[in-house]
Structure 1
Amino acid sequence: MDKEADKELDNRQVIGSWLSGPRATAESMGVDFGYRGERFGLPEHGPGSIASLGRRVAAICVDWALCALIAYGLLADGPSSLGNWTLLVFTVTGILTVGTLGSTPGKRLLGLRVVHLSGERLSFPRAAARTVLLALAVPALIWDRDSRGLHDRLTEAVQLRV
């Protein structure tokens, strides 16, 4: 009877570890991940901390809406070409604003900026590479434990709260 109870408990633990994910399993084994940005010496909360996912998504939505408005008003021949022109305006705007000011209009509105891991402004070539990777979408959907997308990792960038 004890063997059956132990077996059932082991099965529950295995299923529970699968449902809670690899991070929870690693933490239960004693691995300490710390908070987002701790590896870079950033604060956990407040100005200078890594931007939350919600703020970053809201900023990209604001940027996309502004670029769609520009594309619709100035460039698009009709609804069929609006998406392509919006993507082009989004990419050019991102390269120019992140490369010079350190943030897009949406990021500025939501209090975010993009910097190099050293804390300095992101160089123009890095900003251009980051924006092109972001326009491809897939690199932005692959994250590390600090919630940085692959486009940020490849360009050694981080999005911070101002």
Structure 2
Amino acid sequence: MDNRQAIGSWLSGPRAAIEEAGADLGYRGEQLGLPEEGPGSIARPGRRIGALAVDWALCLLIAYGLITDGYDQATGNWALLIFFVLSVLTVGTVGFTPGKRLFRLRVLDLGTGRPSPLRALLRSALLCVALPALIWDRDGRGLHDRLARTVEVRI
């Protein structure tokens, strides 16, 4: 293997390097029994980040307009609390936040299909910490979803 191949495999990520070596990892969500494409398939990162941005902007707007007098550190703290409450209430009842609905996403419990309020609480708390959401498995699920036994899918 020359230097270009080594650098190319590093840039494309470990999944591509493993598949290039001959291993078949399957498609994202195959181990979970989800379809490869269309409704019910694993949500792609772009949609998930877009939904998160919409939810965060909504929470910042609420904190800025209703709770604080100007934008400062308190606004961000209030926005995080509002985001937590919004996420627990909406994901725990209907399975999606306003941003997820806009991007046609839904959170499902792997066992029952609808996340319980306790699972939504755990998932939201881990999401607010942020680090668990940045650690993904081979199916593209964040650590917060793995620990809460949930998955974010397209609707």
Structure-2-length-normalised TM-score: 0.91
Residue equivalent to 2:15: 23
Matches of 1:47 and 1:122 in 2, distance apart? 18
Query: After the TM superposition, which residues 28-107 of structure 1 pair with which residues of structure 2 at under 5 Å, given as runs?
Result: 28-80=20-72, 81-107=74-100
Matches of 1:161 and 1:84 in 2, distance apart? 30
Note the aligned Cα RMSD (angstroms).
1.5
Give 2:109's aligned amino acid.
H
Compared with structure 1, are the counterparts of its residues 16 and 160 closer, same or farther at alpha carbon in structure 2 (3 Å cutoff)? closer
Alpha-carbon offset, residue 41 of structure 1? 1.1
Q: Following superposition, which runs of at least 4 residues in structure 1 exceed 3 angstroms of deviation?
A: 10-21
Alpha-carbon offset, residue 15 of structure 1? 4.9
Q: How many residues align?
A: 153
Compared with structure 1, are the counterparts of its residues 32 and 110 closer, same or farther at alpha carbon in structure 2 (3 Å cutoff)? same
Matches of 1:14 and 1:109 in 2, distance apart? 40
Structure 1, unaligned stretches of length 5 or more? 1-9
Question: Is residue 147 from structure 1 mapped to residue 140 from structure 2 by the alignment?
Answer: yes
Query: After the TM superposition, which residues 111-130 of structure 1 pair with which residues of structure 2 at under 5 Å, given as runs?
Result: 111-118=104-111, 120-130=113-123
Structure-1-length-normalised TM-score: 0.87
Structure 2, unaligned stretches of length 5 or more? none
Compared with structure 1, are the counterparts of its residues 75 and 40 closer, same or farther at alpha carbon in structure 2 (3 Å cutoff)? same
CA deviation map 1:3-57 (0-9, x unaligned): xxxxxxx444555544444323322332111111111111111111111111111
Matches of 2:117 and 2:71 in 1, distance apart? 33
Give 1:91's aligned amino acid.
F
Matches of 1:119 and 1:26 in 2, distance apart? 33
Compared with structure 1, are the counterparts of its residues 66 and 14 closer, same or farther at alpha carbon in structure 2 (3 Å cutoff)? closer
Matches of 1:19 and 1:152 in 2, distance apart? 26
The alignment partner of 1:113 has SS state of strand
